[in-house]
Amino acid sequence: MNDEDLDGNNKPIMTTVLRTKERKMAKMMKMMMMMMMMMEVLLTVWLSLRDALRPSHGELGG
CA distances from 34 to 11, 39, 41, 59 (A): 34, 9, 11, 31
Q: What is the pLDDT of residue 55?
A: 66
The model's pTM = 0.49
Domain boundaries, the chain: 3-53
Spatial distance between the Cα atoms of 61 and 50, rounded to a whole number of angstroms:
10
As a whole number of angstroms, the distance between CA 20 and CA 17 comes to 5
pLDDT of residue 1: 47
Q: pLDDT by residue (tens digit) across 5-59? A: 555 556 667 788 888 999 999 999 999 999 999 999 999 999 999 888 876 655 5
Confidence (pLDDT) at 34? 97
pLDDT at 39: 97
Name the residue among 56, 34, 6 with its Cα closest to residue 42: 34
Query: Which has more confidence, 4 or 54?
Result: 54
